[in-house]
Amino acid sequence: MNPAAGPELRDIHLPATPDWWPPAPGWWLLALALLVALAFGVRACWRFERRRRWRARVRAELERIADAHARSADAQQLSIALSNLLRRASRLLAPHAAALHGEAWLDFLDAKLPKSEADAAPFRRGAGRALLDAPYRRSDDPAAAVDAGALIALVRRWLAHVLRAEDAHA
């Protein structure tokens, strides 16, 4: 008979395998950081798309105005429509632009042109001057004559430069 060498010992007891849920605090932080990054990404995409649609609407409105003028050749309506378009576009770029009028309005428009073109002041001294007085003159007044092609081209250049500059800031 063999006496027992000692107390009965049990085999090694391993701990239970860790569950996958709930995750460790580091995983929670990573998930939170990913959600925040996703929210910022979605917001940036939404703002970019909104700006892109706005720029497309502005360009389409200019083309609609040019087409309407080609059909009717009314200089007074052209200057009114272009002035309204420029005011709406500039108000979104610089909120104080809505309050400008007269020479200050033309100076603002000239200042937004590229430096090489702004020195010539095409709004103050050129075709853009029609935006000030043409809307208020009678259609049969010879002083109300507007160089429609030059005015539309000037507005087109202004919008192209401003919208391109707005793209760079976005």
Q: CA–CA separation, 75 vs 64, rounded Å?
A: 15
Phi first, then psi: give them for residue 122, nearest 5 degrees: -65, -20
Average pLDDT of the chain, as a whole number: 87
The C-alpha angle with vertex 63 and arms to 116 and 150, in degrees rounded to 5, equals: 40
Q: Is the dihedral of CA 22, 23, 26, 30 positive or negative?
A: negative
- Whether 158 shows a pLDDT value over 60: the answer reads yes
Lowest mean pLDDT segment, chosen from 95-99, 154-158, 166-170: 166-170
Q: Is the dihedral of CA 97, 100, 102, 107 positive or negative?
A: negative
d(CA 95, CA 82): 18
d(CA 159, CA 90): 9
User: What tokens does 163 get?
Assistant: 């919208």
pLDDT at 93: 81
0.85 cut: is pTM over it? Answer: no
From the CB of residue 56, how many other CB atoms can be counted at a distance below 10 Å? 11
Question: Where is pLDDT greater, at 165 or 134?
Answer: 134
The pLDDT value recorded for residue 136 is 77
**Predicted pLDDT at 114:** 86
pLDDT at 168 over 80: no
Closest CA to 92 of 57, 133, 117: 57
Rg of the chain on CA atoms, in Å: 34
Cα–Cα distance measured from residue 169 to residue 103, given in angstroms and rounded to the nearest whole number:
27
Residue 170 has pLDDT above 70, yes or no: no
With H, G, I as helix, E, B as strand and everything else as coil, classify residue 122: coil
